[in-house]
């Protein structure tokens, strides 16, 4: 059994709901299918304490239609990356930060708040990142339904119908 298989086996053993929802899709890369907030919160301490993935490299936000995917990527000092995909519904876009275990994720979770509109709770106080000040609320540029052509950069307003007249 190589190390990827061992990690998959230990995860499925500890969390049976992961069986058939986790695979080695690329060499050294373990991906999960979308898992719920609650499932994700259960797995994280195990990943940190038992599996030794000490570093959260990044969290990639993806627009998956009715939900927003938060692909958390973890690494240890080996070549394997573990990518857990937490899925939050757009109807209730909330998530809990993992910065208590992984302080290295703070800036990346702030990005998810700004760009995807997911309220990540539990982050320490600090400036928002990366959108500019004065950015209109309710505008999440990385969502697929947000059209940059409708955004007037002079007035910083999003025109719901038609393209922005003054732009660039």
- Catalog residues that contact other proteins under the rule CB under 8 A: 25-26, 28-29, 31, 54-58, 60, 62-63, 71, 73, 77-79, 81, 83, 102-108, 126-127, 129-135, 141-142, 148, 151, 153-154, 156, 168
* CB closer to other proteins out of 37 and 58: 58
Contacts of residue 131, Cβ cutoff 8 Å, sequence gap at least 6:
114, 115, 141
Q: Cis (ω within 30 of 0) for the bond into 130?
A: yes
* CB closer to other proteins out of 12 and 81: 81
| Element of type H or E holding 62 | strand 55-63
* CB closer to other proteins out of 13 and 103: 103
DSSP 120: E
Min dist. Cβ of residue 22 to other proteins (A): 14
Min dist. Cβ of residue 148 to other proteins (A): 4
* CB closer to other proteins out of 16 and 126: 126
Contacts of residue 146, Cβ cutoff 8 Å, sequence gap at least 6:
139, 140, 158
Min dist. Cβ of residue 163 to other proteins (A): 12
CA distance 41 to 86: 9
Min dist. Cβ of residue 86 to other proteins (A): 15
**In the structure, how many helices (H) and strands (E) does the chain have?**
3, 9
* CB closer to other proteins out of 13 and 49: 49
């Amino acid at each position: 059994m190589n190390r990827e298989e061992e990690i998959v086996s230990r995860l499925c053993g500890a969390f049976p709901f992961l069986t058939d929802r986790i695979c080695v899709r690329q060499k050294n890369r373990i991906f999960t299918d979308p898992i719920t907030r609650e499932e994700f919160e259960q797995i994280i301490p195990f990943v940190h304490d038992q599996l030794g993935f000490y570093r959260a490299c990044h969290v990639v936000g993806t627009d998956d239609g009715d939900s927003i995917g938060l692909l958390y990527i973890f690494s240890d000092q080996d070549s394997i990356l573990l990518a857990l995909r937490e899925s939050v519904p757009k109807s209730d876009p909330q998530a809990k930060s993992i910065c208590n275990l992984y302080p290295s994720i703070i800036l990346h979770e702030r990005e998810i708040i700004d760009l995807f509109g997911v309220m990540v709770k539990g982050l320490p106080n600090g400036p928002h990142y990366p959108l500019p000040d004065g950015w209109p609320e309710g505008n999440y540029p990385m969502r697929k339904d947000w059209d940059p052509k409708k955004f007037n950069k002079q007035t910083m307003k999003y025109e719901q119908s038609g393209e922005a007249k003054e732009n660039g």
